[in-house]
Structure 1
Amino acid sequence: MSGKILAERYEVQRQLGKQTGRQTLLARDLQTQELVVIKQLFLGSDFEWQDLKLFEREAETLKSLSYPAIPRYLDYLEIDEPNSKSFALVQTYVEGKTLQEHLLSGRTFSESEVKELAKSLLEIFNYLHEEQESPVIHRDIKPSNILLHSRSGHSVGQVYLVDFGSVQNQAAKFGGTITVVGTYGYMAPEQFGGRSVPASDLYGLGATLIYLVTGLHPTELSQQDLRIQFADRVTHLNSSLIDWLEWMTEPSLDKRLSSAGEAWISLKNPRIIDKNSIAAQRQSSAIKLTKTSEFIEIKIPSQGIDISLIVVLLGVISVMLFLIAVSDNDRELLIAGIFLAAAGVLKLLDSLFLEVRLRIDRQQISYSTDILGLRWNNSPPAPRQDIGQLEIEQIEYTRRGTKQKLSTVSQMIIQAGNQKYQLGVKQGLSESEIEWLATELSQWLGLKIQRTLTDGKKKISM
């Protein structure tokens, strides 16, 4: 094989890999003298047209990509030889060892290296998934498709993602044919049904990193409700990293991190969550929370009538009746009485029928109120990408002229550009409900909760 010339240009150096009906070669481009990788697909007795479709899709995808951590497309060939016919994809050669090779040689990865590796791959995913014309989903993230170059004792080195033979782009997604591709153990559950989304690559990355920290292939680990059970084998890891890996490999798309950006933010800012207390709060609260991969929506029902409201309404009615009784022909007093009556009615409607709705989807955040089917926006909607901060603010009320604290109330603030969206005591939320909703929003948005204290004069970060 060594020394063979393909297409009168590429001199084969050695074979890198071989599978039924295909092979991968290291060759030298005789025109540039650079080393290249040639992937060759043969037309033989075991040839299937679906293989050629995926092969051509890989070539077209690489041709459209330009990223330092992805091999670059160089050429596409049809090779006719006396005993065979084949197609060949030529791409740049990346020197290095795969994660699989590192693991098989006994190399281990520290927690900081795992995070560094995750960061590099999430940056690659962000490029692929955010391609404007045609987002690209790799669909086969696993240790043998990740190359490390120049790894040192203090760094994983340069990270490369290779082998786009299972790639799906948006154009191919609607082709009408279901194609199940990927590698068992690293495939997200939805891929078994022929469905792939950006979160499918996140699952593959999570499963790959679980292999790194446990030394075991995902299929060697037990499962419970399709969840990979690995936490008991990595007690040396920080609990926040374990939680993040569980989040990345959630079987349900609705519960899994949905984008590379969200995954990176969540890795930097781990969620702090008491699952038992949140479950209890969800069950006991009248608030309706709906959370899917596409949106999160909070509906806060009316507060109802309590003793304080009854006292206020009785006072309003008393003053109103008095003004009407003494107004006689005094038009101004009569108008004042009518205004008080209207205020009382509005307060009653507010307490009985007002519903507050906060909704965030992939495009925007909106905040609206609804009374008897009439809805209006309290604040203008803002683009989802403008959301930059999630805050729980504690406000201390003190007696004027003294330092004696009277009470402390909390509110949750979502900052989206110049817009602020607030939920708190005004909407009848308790402190535990605010904590619960903030935690749910933090998970969905991938934002760390900022905590501040305001004493009437200044705001202090906690």
Structure 2
Amino acid sequence: MNENTSKQILNERYEVVSELGRQTGRRTLLATDLQTQQQVVVKVLYLGQDFDWQDLKLFQRESETLKTLEHSQIPRYLDYFEFETSDDKGFGLVQTYVGAKSLEEQLQAGRRFSESEIKELAISLLEILNYLHQRQPAIIHRDIKPSNILLSNRSGNSVGEVYLVDFGSVQNIAAQEGGTITVVGTYGYMPPEQFGGRTKPASDLYSLGATLIYVMTGLHPTELPQQDLRIKFPQAGYISRKFADWLEWMTEPSLEQRFTSAQIALDAIENPPQRRQIIQELNPALSKPQGSSINLIKTSDRLEIILPPTGFGIGLIVLISCLTPFAIGITFLSQGLDSLNRALATNTLASGFFWLLQGSAIALILFLVLAAIFKRAHLQLNDGYLTVIHHLLGFKWSQKIIKMNQVIHVKMISDKYNTGVKENLFMYHGNRVVFNFDEYCNLNTLEREWLKNEIRDWLNKMRHSLNND
């Protein structure tokens, strides 16, 4: 590897001006494009003694990803090439150059940010993440940190123009689901799930939250204490309680309690849910919520959950409203249509069809009303199957859903941030929903949380017992 890269010409086109950064087997160079006379960034991966095929995979993924992106705050792909000299050989990725200092450099130089500036920085980066995460498939940066954020043209109280750079750790959801696990990122900014190699769009939110905490406190996240994996940061005197709550939501170690998307984080930044109140409500507790009509029986080898009737939801009311005209009868509705009445009177087959339609509508409405008032769903979980038994006015019928050894996990979707998302409680086999509780009963948030914890507790104990056997 040639240590003196200045004035070196790569790919007979890019004249190296200076070195911007280096890692083992890699360099980031500032160069002049001899064809356009524009300054560009050339990232070089050398095929030396330290070469790792996984590095090449990430390098090529960065190139392919940048090709698909068109965003004013993300470097633009320009070129990709292979090179070989008397000293080195490897690959080069060329992208546009942003003449700006990193957030890390500015903090090290003593720059400080007000709450409004930190929020402005957060909003700019969340808008970039929203663009990335809404791609199909979603693109996850996986290495958001102060050194990968550039700031330029600061004026007055404005934080300036914000850029997100270094897509060397990028991953899309499709590659993640179909490939091997790769753990990349920077310690202190990585959420817990990233250490397992399985990242989600919300993983970038954690990294951004940890970055903003560093901006606020001047301390690297690893220098701050932790409690239950939560970063415990001192609230600076100029930072409001609301914004501190928002940062806690961003860096929540649990994916289920963290903001789930950049858009939700954007919507909540000015008025986030009160942290202490929500955490208290969502603390796992195996106690039945007060006033709940759900009955639960749990032993070491079985779990039974009896759900009350669904009642009259909006969907059911709409369905009954659509059926009502048929139940009243076409003949009644068409009293003013003499031609239709004469046709029904003379055509026995047509008349019989409409009577059948009317009778079916009446029967269906009657069943829906009785089911809403009286039908109960009885879930039975044991080491064999998950079975649902339906009870209605003395009648019952059962349905085997799935073998219990195929029930992998239980997931709750809750609208903690008041965004209008539909709340649900699901049981999964892999990525497939095998049971949706809210199809059988109208649950509230506390009931979902209680059932989720009861089922997880029973599943864990059952699996532990089977393993011991």
TM tier, smaller: 0.5 to 0.7
Aligned-residue offset at 1:3: 2.0
Whether 1:87 aligns to 2:88 is no
| Superposed counterparts of 1:130-145, under 5 Å | 130-132=134-136, 134-145=137-148
SS of residue matched to 2:20 = strand
Whether 1:187 aligns to 2:193 is no
Return the match for 1:220 from 212, 223, 232: 223
| Superposed counterparts of 1:145-184, under 5 Å | 145-184=148-187
Aligned-residue offset at 1:89: 0.3
Cα RMSD of the aligned pairs, angstroms, is: 3.7
Structure 1 counterpart of 2:59: 55
Q: CA offsets per residue over residues 298-357 of structure 1, 9 Å max, x none?
A: x995799xxxxxxxxxxxxxxxxxxxxxxxxxxxxxxxxxxxxxx9xx89994x7679xx
Question: Residues 118 and 277 from structure 1, CA distance in 2 versus in 1: closer, same or farther, beyond 3 angstroms?
Answer: closer
Structure 2 counterpart of 1:109: 113
Structure 1 counterpart of 2:248: 246
The residue type paired with residue 185 of structure 2 is G
Question: Residues 249 and 371 from structure 1, CA distance in 2 versus in 1: closer, same or farther, beyond 3 angstroms?
Answer: farther
**Alpha-carbon distance in 1 for matches of 2:188, 2:213:** 11
Aligned-residue offset at 1:2: 2.4
Contact map agreement 1:137 1:197 (CA 8 A) in 2: yes
The residue type paired with residue 121 of structure 2 is L
The residue type paired with residue 62 of structure 1 is L
**Alpha-carbon distance in 2 for matches of 1:288, 1:129:** 40
Return the match for 2:19 from 10, 15, 37: 15
**Alpha-carbon distance in 2 for matches of 1:213, 1:288:** 47
Question: Residues 30 and 209 from structure 1, CA distance in 2 versus in 1: closer, same or farther, beyond 3 angstroms?
Answer: same
Question: Residues 288 and 242 from structure 1, CA distance in 2 versus in 1: closer, same or farther, beyond 3 angstroms?
Answer: farther
| Superposed counterparts of 1:426-445, under 5 Å | none
The residue type paired with residue 3 of structure 1 is K
The residue type paired with residue 265 of structure 1 is D
Aligned-residue offset at 1:171: 3.3
Aligned-residue offset at 1:46: 0.8
Q: CA offsets per residue over residues 99-134 of structure 1, 9 Å max, x none?
A: 1001100111110011111111111111101112x2
Structure 2 counterpart of 1:32: 36
Return the match for 1:285 from 285, 290, 297: 290
Question: Residues 158 and 303 from structure 1, CA distance in 2 versus in 1: closer, same or farther, beyond 3 angstroms?
Answer: closer
SS of residue matched to 1:265 = helix
Contact map agreement 2:242 2:271 (CA 8 A) in 1: no
Aligned-residue offset at 1:287: 4.1
Aligned-residue offset at 1:4: 1.9
SS of residue matched to 1:166 = coil
Aligned-residue offset at 1:79: 1.0
**Alpha-carbon distance in 2 for matches of 1:204, 1:217:** 12
Structure 1 counterpart of 2:46: 42
Q: CA offsets per residue over residues 115-159 of structure 1, 9 Å max, x none?
A: 111111111111101112x22100001000000111223111111
Deviates more, 1:262-271 or 1:109-118: 262-271
Question: Residues 301 and 237 from structure 1, CA distance in 2 versus in 1: closer, same or farther, beyond 3 angstroms?
Answer: farther
**Alpha-carbon distance in 1 for matches of 2:224, 2:241:** 19
- The structure whose residues are more often strand, as a share, is 1
Contact map agreement 1:287 1:301 (CA 8 A) in 2: no
Question: Residues 116 and 234 from structure 1, CA distance in 2 versus in 1: closer, same or farther, beyond 3 angstroms?
Answer: same
**Structure 2: runs of 5+ lacking an equivalent:** 295-305, 312-365, 378-390, 398-414, 423-440, 448-469
Q: CA offsets per residue over residues 232-289 of structure 1, 9 Å max, x none?
A: 3424311111111111111111111110111111113322463587469995424499
**Alpha-carbon distance in 2 for matches of 1:99, 1:287:** 51
Aligned-residue offset at 1:95: 1.0
TM (norm. structure 1) is 0.63
Contact map agreement 2:309 2:371 (CA 8 A) in 1: no
Structure 1 counterpart of 2:325: none
Runs of 4+ in 1 over 6 A off after TM superposition: 279-282, 346-349, 352-355, 370-374
Contact map agreement 1:287 1:300 (CA 8 A) in 2: no
Question: Residues 189 and 390 from structure 1, CA distance in 2 versus in 1: closer, same or farther, beyond 3 angstroms?
Answer: closer
| Superposed counterparts of 1:24-423, under 5 Å | 24-132=28-136, 134-230=137-233, 232-272=234-274, 274-275=277-278, 278=281, 284-287=289-292, 301=308, 350=373
Contact map agreement 2:115 2:238 (CA 8 A) in 1: no
Question: Residues 19 and 270 from structure 1, CA distance in 2 versus in 1: closer, same or farther, beyond 3 angstroms?
Answer: same
Structure 2 counterpart of 1:333: none
Aligned-residue offset at 1:28: 0.7
**Alpha-carbon distance in 1 for matches of 2:50, 2:259:** 39
Aligned-residue identity in percent:
58
**Alpha-carbon distance in 1 for matches of 2:68, 2:224:** 38
**Alpha-carbon distance in 1 for matches of 2:139, 2:170:** 7
**Structure 1: runs of 5+ lacking an equivalent:** 290-298, 305-342, 356-369, 375-386, 392-413, 417-426, 438-462
Structure 1 counterpart of 2:402: none
Contact map agreement 1:41 1:86 (CA 8 A) in 2: yes
Contact map agreement 2:149 2:163 (CA 8 A) in 1: yes
Question: Residues 3 and 182 from structure 1, CA distance in 2 versus in 1: closer, same or farther, beyond 3 angstroms?
Answer: same
**Alpha-carbon distance in 2 for matches of 1:268, 1:2:** 48
Structure 1 counterpart of 2:463: none
Q: CA offsets per residue over residues 161-182 of structure 1, 9 Å max, x none?
A: 0000000013321343110000
TM (norm. structure 2) is 0.62
Contact map agreement 2:245 2:274 (CA 8 A) in 1: no
- Tell me the matched-pair count: 327
Question: Residues 371 and 131 from structure 1, CA distance in 2 versus in 1: closer, same or farther, beyond 3 angstroms?
Answer: farther
**Alpha-carbon distance in 2 for matches of 1:19, 1:280:** 43
Deviates more, 1:171-180 or 1:17-26: 171-180
